[in-house]
Structure 1
Amino acid sequence: MTASRAEAAYSRAAAAFRTPTLDLLHGRFAPFVVATLSILFTADRASVPIADAHAELGEILEELRSGDEDDERRVPVGTGRDVGRNWVRLGWLVQQIDDDVEVYRLSAHAVEALEIAGRTGGGRTRVSNSRVRTLLEAVENLADSAEVDPARRLERLHQERALLDAEIARIETTGAADPLDDDELLEEAENVLHLARELPADFTRVAESLKAMQRDVVAHLRRDERPTGEVLREYLQRARDVMQSTPEGRAFAGALRLIGDPERIDALTDQLHSLLRQPFALMLDATQRAELDAIGRRVELGVEEVLAAQRRASHVITGQVKTHDPLRDRQVDDLLRDVIAGLHVWDGRGAAEPVRSLPLIDLGHLRQTVSDIRPPGAPAPLADAEDVEFPDRDTRAWGGPRYAELEEYVAGLGEEFDLGAAFSDTANDTRRPVDLLGLLEIAHRNGMTEHDEVSIVEALRPDGTARRFAFGAVTARTTKEDVHE
């Protein structure tokens, strides 16, 4: 019996040490891994673009390698990219796409390892009044929730109400709140920090359970040979109920009713800021104050991480269902199996056996009748521009330059003219900003000379508003023939 218990205990311990969490903490470069991950990922930086992470890893490696200690004992070999990819393989980092950018996130195992390292290196881990009271209150709440005898439940509620009434009467009589002393408040704050350190690993574990469920559903869907309609109904329902598909998701859904309200998160943040202004907060070190201040943000980011994983899982499952074709999937799977089997047999020297089966091509909808194979008739020719009537003069007024009117106007200005003066003297309906461009185009075509002076003109828009333009003074010719004289 003793031997069997010892074997079972040893098996459990060996299995625990094979998890990425203890593998991280027990590895040769554990101090480097813990220090680097705590630098790269913070409460306000839950994900890091992969390119940035590799660059920062390279800088940390270079800085630590330049120290006096033995490099091989302090940091691993390789570049920042090599180290990052290795951590993904070991299960400490997770790759995903956020807003079309590939990023790293801490895995649940890495978050748990950082929590253990932080709690162990944080100094005082002690049995305190606050810690024990938290345990007792949790047990009492559990017992109350499981109580089925209404008389005992009422007795408990009457006792709680009597204590509250006594406290209310005391404060109304004395006018004093009598808060706890600073040492007791410090114990309470340390207990809060202890509880808060466990949240990131819990949130990440829920998100990873949803991702694992997503992969399982997609793999199962590809193997499913039932009619597509039946598959659609089952898996679309599973996509809608994705949060209820895992034990972690169901637990989070219950917790979300407490922390999912933005007003509750705002109230939590305000309470934390108020606590940091209290005298006892000065007894906390800088790291503890920063952790206390970041609790609200940490909860908010954790909720966002889980909800993002839920949306991503629903999107992937729904997209897979919409494109699900059992016949095509089986054909592709059979083809891949034939190719892999042929590669195992082929020695690389002789001729390879060609693939003799391919998935059927989807030709879409073909013509079903050949009664009239001629194409439809050509469209009617466009009408001459002179025959077009503009029903709305205002619509035409917002169009391009009126070249015909401008050319007729320029023809009566003599051999040469100043473009700015000519534009200012033209009629209002050809003094629009676009007509200034048309006049410049005509001047450039016929030949023009630019001067150092600046011409300033005022153009009139069709709606009556004016706009001033400044340009280099231009003397233009009336006709193109004058350029060659």
Structure 2
Amino acid sequence: MITRAEGAYLGAVRAFQNPMLDLLHKRHAPLVVALLSVTFTAERPTVPVADAHTEIGDALDQLRAAGYDDGLPVGTARDLCRQWADAGWLVRQVLDDDVETYRLSAHAVGALEVAGRAGGARARVSQSRVRTLLDAVERLAQDADPDVLVRMARLDAEIRRLQAELERVQRTGTVEEVDDEQLLEEAENVLHLVRELPADFARVAESIRAMQRDVVTALRQDERPTGDVLREYLERGEHVMESTVEGRAFSGALRLIGDPQRIDELAHQLDVVLRHRFTRRLPEQQRAELAEIVRRIEHGLAQVFAAQREASYVITAQVRNHDPLRDRQVDALLRDVMTGLQDWMPGSRRFQPVAPLRRLPVADVDHLRQTAGDLRPPEPPAALVVWTDDEHDVSPDDARAWGGPHYAELTAHLRTLGPDEVAVAVAFDAAPDELRRPVDLLGLLEIAHLRGMTETDELAFVDALRPDGTRRRLAFGGVTTRTKDETHD
């Protein structure tokens, strides 16, 4: 049987295993709290990994320059961030633009809030705090009591009290003023409640991410039929908010703070408070916290909704691409790799080279299955046709007719044209039939290029005549050229 002292001790041991208390219990806890609080702010909840290493390194250099060497840990900013991530105070994540960032875990947010409250004004047993407690207990009793008559009597009493207050205000036309001391107490109570919100939102988001990891892990190890897997896990992905205790609690709170009209009313009420004269007695930090309440709530809601969307996307994508056989093969391969590393590490030396795998191993196959082919011998190709030049006697005139452009004749033809410039299409159409072959058009364009041609915006068409009498209509960009070459003519 466990004694009371032993039970209390075991409970305290479990409590101090929480990363939040572990952070505050460390030797360098003040440094960790200070560096995390200056690096991560409400305006910048996530910081790129490279920027975080640079900023924390600069802060360490400033502290060393100020003479705090004895209280600083040994190691670079990168080493410290890696240690904090292993301890559960920082979370590394990759954003949509492939930028790796750090963000505070829920445990780190809670530790910073505890340190902030301990270093600031102490909470007092005030009228506001007691009234908050009494109102919470009264609401709890009302929600827990199903008696209809008791509920009706309570509502009647509340109506009579409010009606009497309304009649008094209507009769006197004045509202009883509350002294500044009581307003200060109520403002401190509001700030005390608000400081719990960031850690609460962070815990909800992390519980959703933890559920996401559990679902994906279970899905990879699931051997049930694919239809059953799809139905169960798609349902969990659609109702991810109801899958955790924190998520269900957040869903209830969302019905109060998720209404945009309620948020607008809260912002208006805070504006009324900040315009009152008693707020001038508040420190600047507390006035800023009051002004930032709405933004804190909106940021916390966005943080939880982002975690919900990510979890739903990851679970749905995993289900759609789920291949139990492939996943088991990958898991077995990774286990083999880890086993090989564990066997190799004890006998290895520092900087010992490792022979790379330059080629994949070849499977040792004893026999390949063979199939009988066609037993008929392959047929030889057809014999080549005997062809000699004697059978195709071509005269020099025929060969010349099918040859290249007649440059000399084309140049002489251009001299016969009257104007100083002529369109190439006009010159080609005016040529005799033996100079109107398609290849002669190319020769004419070449001559025009050498003499200098001018392009027009029109599209030219010509009818070319081959030596066998066939015609071919050609189109090209219209150009003009000189009829005579001044350098040679």
Taking structure 1 as the reference length, the TM-score comes to 0.70
1:200 is displaced (CA, Å) by 0.6
Which residue of 127, 130, 133 corresponds with 2:128? 130
The separation in 2 between residues aligned to 1:165 and 1:66, in whole angstroms, is: 67
1:301 is displaced (CA, Å) by 0.5
The separation in 2 between residues aligned to 1:246 and 1:175, in whole angstroms, is: 51
Q: Quick check: 1:202 aligned with 2:200?
A: yes
Moved more, 111-120 or 29-38: 29-38
Counting only pairs closer than 5 Å after superposition, residues 19-418 of structure 1 correspond to structure 2 as 19-68=18-67, 70-73=68-71, 75-100=72-97, 101-341=99-339
Measured against aligned partners, the alpha-carbon deviations of 1:425-465 in whole angstroms (never above 9, x if no partner) come to xxxxxxxxxxxxxxxxx99x9699xxxxxxxxxxxxxxxxx
Measured against aligned partners, the alpha-carbon deviations of 1:386-412 in whole angstroms (never above 9, x if no partner) come to xxxxxxxxxxxxxxxxxxxxxxxxxx9
Distance 1:72 1:356, change over 3 A: farther
The separation in 1 between residues aligned to 2:215 and 2:13, in whole angstroms, is: 31
| Corresponding residue SS for 1:42 | coil
Measured against aligned partners, the alpha-carbon deviations of 1:43-94 in whole angstroms (never above 9, x if no partner) come to 22222222222221112111111113x4131x32323222222211111111
Distance 1:483 1:21, change over 3 A: farther
* Maintained 8 Å contact 1:339/1:355: no
The separation in 2 between residues aligned to 1:124 and 1:155, in whole angstroms, is: 40
| Corresponding residue SS for 2:157 | helix
The separation in 2 between residues aligned to 1:310 and 1:168, in whole angstroms, is: 45
The separation in 2 between residues aligned to 1:209 and 1:127, in whole angstroms, is: 33
1:341 is displaced (CA, Å) by 4.7
Identity percentage over the alignment?
60
Distance 1:13 1:168, change over 3 A: same
Alignment-mate amino acid for residue 48 of structure 1: V
Alignment-mate amino acid for residue 113 of structure 2: E
Q: Quick check: 1:15 aligned with 2:14?
A: yes
The separation in 1 between residues aligned to 2:166 and 2:288, in whole angstroms, is: 34
1:235 is displaced (CA, Å) by 0.5
The separation in 1 between residues aligned to 2:121 and 2:320, in whole angstroms, is: 54
Alignment-mate amino acid for residue 181 of structure 2: D
Alignment-mate amino acid for residue 76 of structure 2: T
1:414 is displaced (CA, Å) by 7.9
| Corresponding residue SS for 1:95 | strand
The separation in 2 between residues aligned to 1:355 and 1:10, in whole angstroms, is: 58
Distance 1:339 1:22, change over 3 A: closer
Structure 2: runs of 5+ lacking an equivalent: 349-353, 364-417, 422-447, 455-478
Measured against aligned partners, the alpha-carbon deviations of 1:369-392 in whole angstroms (never above 9, x if no partner) come to xxxxxxxxxxxxxxxxxxxxxxxx
Alignment-mate amino acid for residue 206 of structure 2: E
1:270 is displaced (CA, Å) by 2.3
The separation in 1 between residues aligned to 2:36 and 2:420, in whole angstroms, is: 81
Taking structure 2 as the reference length, the TM-score comes to 0.70
Moved more, 114-123 or 139-148: 114-123
Structure 1: runs of 5+ lacking an equivalent: 358-411, 416-441, 449-476
Alignment-mate amino acid for residue 72 of structure 1: D
Measured against aligned partners, the alpha-carbon deviations of 1:136-187 in whole angstroms (never above 9, x if no partner) come to 0000000000111111111111111111111111111111122311111110
The separation in 1 between residues aligned to 2:70 and 2:419, in whole angstroms, is: 89
| Corresponding residue SS for 1:226 | coil
Task: Count residues with an aligned counterpart.
Answer: 371
